[in-house]
Chains A and B, each alone.
Chain A
Amino acid sequence: MIELDHVSKWFGGVVAVSDVSFSVGPGVTALLGPNGAGKSTVIRLVCGLTLPSQGRISVLGRQPRRHLDLFGHIGLVPQQEALFESMTAGAFVTLAAELHSLDAPGSAARAALGAVDLDAGDTRALAEYSKGMRQRVKVAQALVHDPPLLVLDEPLDGLDPRQRLTLIALFRRLGSEGRGVLVSSHVLDEVERFGSRVLVMAQGRLAAEGDFHAIRTLMDNRPHRLRLRTDRPRRLGAALLETGTVVGLAVGGGDQLVVDTLDVAGFRRAVAPAARTADARLLELVPLDDDLESVFRYLVGPDPSPTR
């Protein structure tokens, strides 16, 4: 349904997307990456909102922008929050249905709003809606014309856990019906629930792609970096090397010790006995790279290990 062939996009001197190639078929595909990874640019490229600086994009066999009728087959949930603030949700989604020349725009809007648990008869203006409700209105306007391809940029942002579950179930159902659903997210656990194929982006590049569980294993098996504070960093370092759970180690200034390990659980079990062996007081143990950005950086190209 979507094919990107060596696509790059730069804005002035800033490279937003670099030589990305992938294809998306029916079902849910998650586009995972930290903020600034290039996910939104990829989504804008797929929808024709911006043109690639290099490479080729095909959506449902056509090039976005060149074929106006293609827009009748795409439903987009954009990232930006702004809506037509003075309109009601019903009027906003009905307008979308009318622009798609649907026969019964009112009932299509009611159905789309119903699918995201919103009341089409609500007379409040969109300006009065909470962030979660606004997100669901955005999803409704993307669904209203029943498109074969849905492109959703961080659609779960601002939703409470129950709403998240509802929308995840909706996306999964739409995917299982044969639609293409491309969903971007920067939340790993969120993507896990899609139970889908994953494209991982980092620093504008496609860092990994495949089944979620394979990617997750790859992420968990990366070297983890931790910082320890102790009164005897060199002796503790030597004792930790003896345990075999450490693959890299650096003694920092003063009381600090930075270690790399491939087995966090094993390291955590070994660290206290090692401290006893070294007769060292363990003052602090802090993971340095548990944030998702570090995971993505590793997938793109791991940082050099500290010297042993």
Chain B
Amino acid sequence: MTALFRMFLASQVTRARLLGLGSLGLLSVLLGLALGAGDGGDPATEATELVAAFGLSLFVPVTCLVFASAVLGEPHEDATLVYLWLRPVARWRLVAAAAAAALAVSLPVVVVPLALAAAVAGAGADLVLATVASCSVATVAYTGVFIWLGLRVRRALVWGLAYILVWEGFVARAGGTASLLAIRPHTRSLLAHLAGGSGELIEVSAATGVVLPLVAAALALALAVRRLTRQEVA
């Protein structure tokens, strides 16, 4: 499994990806600095809004989409998956190694700059911890879902962006069942609970905000294992 993890990790880290997503991270830090330097409203509320609106709604899901959809999706599409698939390795190990590699890249890429943004915004240690926790939960959830998506569809980036922008951005905001099928309301609620403010972000309890995204990740990874077991390999 270590060998697989190393291989997946190496295939994930490309200069273009790191530069693109690193600049989004830098942008989040600059926005945090701007908030910290401003003398407008309550820094805690504004910084929470920044992490929720920019971090949990865009930066985290897009980063996870880029890495997680590619980790098994790219070998599936370019037919190199056969070099992993045709080995006496349990399918769950392949998926677990892929998930671990995607997380190993995504977590530092999103959590570090967003935590830094929360810190420089001057909102206090609670928001920094809340940011780390909610972003970590969100990263795990999106990673699981997008690994499955990468195996399930071609052009997973397009489908993933549609999910992030259309489903989570519009449909799920209407509430009801649609919001249950979205990760964003849960992680935003978690952030708000842990930061102790921004009541309008809270849609579910803190426990639900942790458990449901993690269950979604586990289910998606189980589906990915099933898919890998049953699908035809080029």
Chain A contacts to B: CB under 8 angstroms = 44, 47-51, 68-72, 74, 76, 78, 80, 82-84, 86-87, 92, 94-96, 98-101, 141
Count residues on chain B whose CB falls below 8 Å from chain A CBs: 20
> B89 near A: Cβ within 8 Å?
yes
Q: Which B residue sits closest to A67, measured CB to CB?
A: B88
Which residues of chain A come closer than 8 Å to B10, judged between CB atoms?
Answer: 86-87
Q: Which of B63-112 contact A (CB under 8 A)?
A: 78-80, 82-90
Nearest-CB residue, chain B, relative to A97: B3
- Chain A residues contacting B78 (CB-CB under 8 Å) are 80, 82
Asked whether B86 lies within 8 Å of A49 as measured between CB atoms, the reply is yes
Please indicate the chain A residues that have their CB under 8 angstroms from the CB of B3 in the complex.
Answer: 94-95, 98-99
In the complex, which residues of chain A have a beta carbon less than 8 angstroms from the beta carbon of B88?
Answer: 68-72, 99-101
- Which of A51, A87, A92, A100 interacts with B87 by CB under 8 Å? A100
Contacts of A98 in B (CB 8 A): 3
User: Given contacts A68-B89, A72-B88, A92-B83, could you give 10 more A-B pairs where the C-beta distance is less than 8 Å?
Assistant: A47-B86, A48-B86, A49-B232, A68-B90, A70-B88, A80-B78, A84-B11, A99-B84, A99-B88, A101-B88
**Min CB–CB distance B145 → chain A (angstroms):** 25
In the complex, residue of chain A having the shortest beta-carbon distance to the beta carbon of B6: A95
Residues of A within 8 A of B85 (CB): 49
Is A80 within 8 A of B84, CB to CB? Answer: no
Partner of A84, one of B83, B87, B89, B234: B83
Q: Tell me, in angstroms, the Cα distance from A182 to B88 when the chains sit together.
A: 20
The answer to whether B4 has its CB under 8 Å from any CB of chain A is yes
Which of B4, B79, B87, B232 is A82 in contact with, Cβ under 8 Å? B79
Q: Tell me the B residues contacting A by CB distance below 8 Å.
A: 3-4, 7, 10-11, 78-80, 82-90, 232-234
Residues in A with CB closer than 8 Å to B87 are 71-72, 96, 99-100
Contact across chains for B7 and A84 when beta carbons are under 8 A apart: yes
Of the A-B pairs whose beta carbons lie under 8 Å apart in the complex, a sample of 24, sorted by A's number, is A44-B232, A44-B233, A48-B86, A49-B82, A49-B85, A49-B86, A49-B233, A68-B90, A71-B87, A78-B79, A80-B80, A80-B82, A80-B234, A82-B79, A83-B80, A83-B83, A86-B11, A87-B10, A92-B83, A95-B83, A96-B83, A99-B3, A99-B87, A141-B83
For the complex, give the distance between the alpha carbons of A69 and B87 in Å: 8
Instruction: Report the minimal beta-carbon distance from A207 to chain B, rounded to whole angstroms.
Output: 26
**Chain B residues, CB < 8 A from A99:** 3-4, 84, 87-89
Least CB distance, A87 to chain B, in whole angstroms: 7
Q: In the complex the two chains form, what is the Cα distance from A153 to B71 in whole Å?
A: 26
A141 partner residues in chain B, CB cutoff 8 A: 83
* Interchain CA distance A49-B82 in the complex, whole Å: 8
* Chain A proximity of B82: nearest CB distance (Å): 5
CB distance from A127 to the nearest CB of B (A): 12
Centre residue among B10, B79, B87, B90 by max chain A CB count within 10 A: B87
User: Once the chains bind, are A74 and B80 in contact (CB under 8 Å)?
Assistant: no
Cβ contacts under 8 Å, A51 to chain B: 232
State the CA gap A6–B232 with chains docked (Å): 20
Q: With both chains docked as a complex, state the minimum distance between the C-beta of A152 and any C-beta of chain B, in angstroms.
A: 13
Which among A68, A69, A76, A87 is the interface contact of B82 at CB below 8 angstroms? A76
- Given A80-B79, A84-B11, A74–B86 Cβ distance below 8 Å? yes
User: A83's closest neighbor in chain B, by CB?
Assistant: B80
How many Å from the CB of A208 to the closest CB on chain B? 29
| The 7 A-B residue pairs with the shortest CB-CB distance in the complex, in nearest-first order | A98-B3, A99-B87, A72-B88, A80-B79, A49-B233, A82-B78, A50-B232
Report the bound CA distance from A83 to B82 in whole Å: 10
A51 to B231, CA, bound (A): 9
* Cα of A204 to Cα of B7 in the assembled complex, Å: 37
Determine the distance from Cα of A84 to Cα of B87 in the docked complex, in whole angstroms.
16
In the complex, which residue of chain A has the Cβ closest to the Cβ of B2?
A: A98
Which B residues touch A69, using CB under 8 A? Answer: 88
- With most chain A CB atoms within 10 A of its CB, the pick from B85, B86, B88, B89 is B86
Q: Which residues of B are found within 8 Å of A101, using beta-carbon distances? A: 88
Closest chain B residue, CB of each to CB of A49: B233
Q: Which residues of B contact A100 (CB under 8 A)?
A: 87-88
Minimum CB distance partner of A92 in chain B: B83
CB distance from A92 to the nearest CB of B (A): 8
User: In the complex, what's the smallest C-beta–C-beta distance from A158 to chain B, in angstroms?
Assistant: 17
Contacts of B232 in A (CB 8 A): 44, 49-51
Residues of B within 8 A of A68 (CB): 88-90
A69 to B89, CA, bound (A): 8
Give the docked Cα–Cα distance between A295 and B62 (Å).
Answer: 55
CB-contact partner of B86 in A71, A84, A94, under 8 A: A71
Give the complex CA separation of A100 and B85 in angstroms.
11
